[in-house]
Amino acid sequence: MRTAYSVETVRNAERELMARLPEGALMQRAAAGLAAACAQVLARVAGRVYGSRVVLLVGSGDNGGDALYAGARLARRGAAVTALLLAPERAHAGGLAALRRAGGRVADAGAASGSAGESIARADLVVDGIVGIGGKGGLREAAVPLADAAARSRAAVVAVDLPSGVDADTGQVRGDVVRADLTVTFGTHKPGLLIDPAREYAGAVRLVDIGLPLPAEAAELEALQHADAARLLPVPAAESDKYRRGVVGIAAGSARYPGAAVLAVAGALRGGAGAVRYVGPAGDAVIARFPETLVSDQGPERAGRVQAWVVGPGAGDDAATVAQVLAAKVPVLIDADGLRLADADAVRARTAPTLMTPHAGEAAALLGVAREEVEGARLASVRELAARYGATVLLKGSTTLVASAKGGPVRVNATGTSWLATAGSGDVLSGLAGSLLAAGLSAVDAGSVAAYLHGLAGRFAAQGAPAGAHDVAASIPRAWRDVRGN
Ligand SMILES: NC(=O)C1=CN([C@@H]2O[C@H](COP(=O)(O)OP(=O)(O)OC[C@H]3O[C@@H](n4cnc5c(N)ncnc54)[C@H](OP(=O)(O)O)[C@@H]3O)[C@@H](O)[C@H]2O)[C@@H](O)CC1
Ligand SMILES: [K+]
């Protein structure tokens, strides 16, 4: 499991560790890891470290200190290193001295603004040490021209700990920020490195272990890796029959949107449940495509036993079906139209698990805010929805988040691809997650494993070209095999 911790937890762990270590030891660990990563980048972009041109953008805190010490290490290996100081009187003194001793140049970024731009334009590598976890808001005015010059130059940009200007705890971007090709982060990932919009600015992320003592239960975010998803996938035992594997009920589709029913069933058939039961007006379309579906023309109450329900995709205005499903004593996934039609009190009153799967627009409608507000503050939005509805909420997007009403780490999914932003893709996801619920996974596990498989399936289906939602569904078995390593 990849984890991310809040700035406060990182600061506490740092204090605890520093008390046991000689002064400056932690920064040396960070700088050593940073310099090694920079050397690799230089080998790629300039052929070697010796003779390469490196510019350090140095702010007034320890983030700048890391950059200066790493710059000193690169200078000792023969790189021509120039530090541009944003606040010369407050730059890290020990780091400055180390850089000077190693033969590096130091300039005041403000006084030398013309030549600062030129150095950046000619650099092979720009190291962004403007601000790290001590940052507040977007970049300050004086730093903006440096970030712009770095973006325009052909140099590789390596961010120290975080791309300067992004919010470490939330992933929010509130102004100008540095766009990095690589971020070298220390001790742990920060939430902002895993959540959009900030994640986009981080480029590839490399974690340098500096020995921070971080308690597992204090993690802010968790991201499943292959091994975690493999452990959670339901695997039928020898004595399993279709009922023991779980039956998932799909109450979806309408005369107007029969396709949503077909796609939800397509996802559900690949999710591990032993059988898929469909109720709704699109039975003919479902059977034509998937003859293995158990189709019923009765409402959910009379459809026969299921271990979990999916309600909502393409449901139109059928509030009665949503209400019937919410009254069932089994896990329920509510998606799409179902989110609009569900009575909030009925959701809160449920005793079996509930998983809601809005995209940003649907989440915004539920919260009564603008869509941009949800997109800019995804972590806070998903937590707020989970708390309001007493449900597990999966907020779809390029970095899908899954929050439980009970609190604890929010799961973030990193397998997604922008190719998944295609009509019907969400219907496939809801069927898949519902099937995992029926197979016995908790709401958080079902949601996060479904997002993981769905993202991978999207990559396999697309492979760099547009793919339809049915292609994504058809690629789910390949995603399972990939996760299980067979
Ligand atoms: N924790 C750890 O385990 C380890 C931490 N380490 C490193 O220390 C870093 C944290 O250092 P830090 O605490 O000195 O804060 P930092 O990020 O340099 O920024 C503070 C300065 O920036 C300024 N500033 C604020 N906002 C700004 C903005 N928007 N735009 C521009 N400037 C802004 C602010 O100015 P002020 O408000 O005081 O005027 C203040 O002077 C951390 O990210 C990591 O790299 C590693 O060395 C080892 C292990
Ligand atoms: K930085």
Question: What pLDDT digit, counting tens, does each position of 74-91 carry?
Answer: 999 999 999 999 999 999
Minimal-distance CA residue to ligand 1 atom 48? 27
Mutate to test the pocket of ligand 1, among 17, 60, 188 (most ligand atoms within 8 A of CB): 60
Q: For tokens 């179902």, what's the residue?
A: 338
pLDDT at 36: 98
Q: How far is the CA of 32 from the centre of ligand 1 (A)?
A: 18
Q: What is the pLDDT of residue 243?
A: 79
Nearest CA, atom 43, ligand 1: 132
The answer to whether 57 and 67 are in contact (CB under 8 A) is yes
Pocket perturbation via mutation, ligand 1, pick of 5, 186, 207 by most ligand atoms within 8 A of CB: 186
CATH: 3.40.50.720, 3.40.50.1000, 3.90.105.10, 3.40.50.10260. Which one for 2-222?
3.40.50.10260
In tens, the pLDDT along 245-271 reads 899 999 999 989 999 999 999 999 999
Binding-site members are: 62-66, 128, 132-138, 161, 164, 260, 314, 359, 396-400, 426-427
- As given in the structure block, the two tokens for residue 268 are 């559900």
CB neighbour list of residue 83: distance below 8 Å, 6 or more residues apart? 55, 56, 58, 67, 68, 71, 91, 96, 99, 104, 105, 106, 107
Confidence band (pLDDT; 50, 70, 90) for 170?
A: very high
Is the pLDDT at 235 greater than 90, yes or no? no
131 Cα: distance to centroid of ligand 1 (angstroms):
5
Inter-residue contact 128 to 66 (CB < 8 Å): no
- Provide, for the chain, the percentages of residues in helix, strand and coil under a 3-state DSSP scheme, each rounded to the nearest 5: 45, 15, 35
440: left (phi over 0), alpha (psi -120 to 50) or beta: left
Mutation to probe ligand 1, out of 68, 86, 131, 166 (largest number of atoms < 8 A from CB): 131
- How far, in Å, CA of 67 to CA of 382, rounded? 35
Which residues have a Cβ under 8 Å from the Cβ of 219 and sit 6 or more positions away?
3, 4, 5, 409
- DSSP secondary structure letters along 254-287: -SS-HHHHHHHHHHHHTTT-SEEEEESTTHHHHH
Q: What are phi and psi of 76, to 5 degrees?
A: -65, -25
- State the Cα–Cα distance between residues 99 and 81, nearest whole angstrom: 8
Bond prior to 258 in cis (omega within 30° of 0)? no
Centre of ligand 2 to C-alpha 95, Å, is 15
User: DSSP assignment, residue 316?
Assistant: T
Q: What is the mean pLDDT of the chain?
A: 96
pLDDT above 80 for 240 = no
Residue range(s) of every CATH 3.40.1190.20 domain in the chain: 226-484
Read off φ and ψ for residue 257, nearest 5 degrees: -125, 65
Q: How high is the pLDDT of residue 92?
A: 98
Ligand 1 centroid – CA 43 distance (Å): 28
Q: Is 57 left (phi over 0), alpha (psi -120 to 50) or beta?
A: beta
Kindly list the protein residues that place their beta carbon closer than 5 angstroms to ligand 2, a single-atom ion. 128, 132, 159-160, 164
Q: Which candidate, 235, 253, 236, places its Cα nearest to that of 293?
A: 253
Closest ligand 1 atom number to CA of residue 142: 31
Please tell me the number of the ligand nearest to residue 143's CA: 1
Other beta carbons less than 10 A from residue 335's beta carbon: 30
Q: Indicate if the pLDDT at residue 140 is higher than 80.
A: yes
Q: Mutation test of ligand 1: which of 133, 146, 173, 206 has the most ligand atoms closer than 8 Å to its C-beta? A: 133
Indicate where the chain has its CATH 3.40.50.10260 domain(s).
2-222
3-state secondary structure (DSSP) of residue 156: strand
- Specify the pLDDT at position 297: 82
* CB distance 109 to 64 below 8 Å: no
* pTM of structure: 0.95
Q: What is the DSSP letter of 59?
A: -
Query: Which ipTM was obtained for this model?
Result: 0.97
Confidence label for 418 from pLDDT (cuts 50, 70 and 90): confident
Residue 239 pLDDT > 80, yes or no?
no
Q: How is the beta sheet containing 221-223 ordered, strand by strand? A: 2-4, 221-223, 410-413, 400-403, 392-395, 354-356, 332-334, 308-311, 247-251, 275-279, 294-296
Q: Rounded to 5 degrees, what angle do the CA atoms 354, 359, 365 make?
A: 85
Ligand 1: residues with CB < 6 A are 10-11, 14, 26-27, 30, 59-64, 66, 130-137, 139-140, 143, 160-161, 165, 186-187, 210, 212
State how far the Cα of 277 lies from the Cα of 287, in Å rounded to an integer.
11
pLDDT number for residue 445 = 98
Is there a contact between 193 and 205 (Cβ–Cβ < 8 Å)?
Answer: yes
- CA quadruple 386, 391, 392, 397: dihedral positive or negative? negative
112 pLDDT more than 80: no
Rg, C-alpha atoms of the chain? 26
pLDDT at 244: 80
Residue 215 gets which letter from DSSP?
A: -
Q: Which helix (H) or strand (E) holds 89?
A: none
**Which of ligand 1's atoms lies nearest the C-alpha of 162?**
43
89-116 in b/e form (b: 16+ CB < 10 A) is eebbeebbebbeebebbbbbbeeeeeeb
- Retrieve residue 465's tokens: 């070209």
Class of domain 226-484: alpha beta
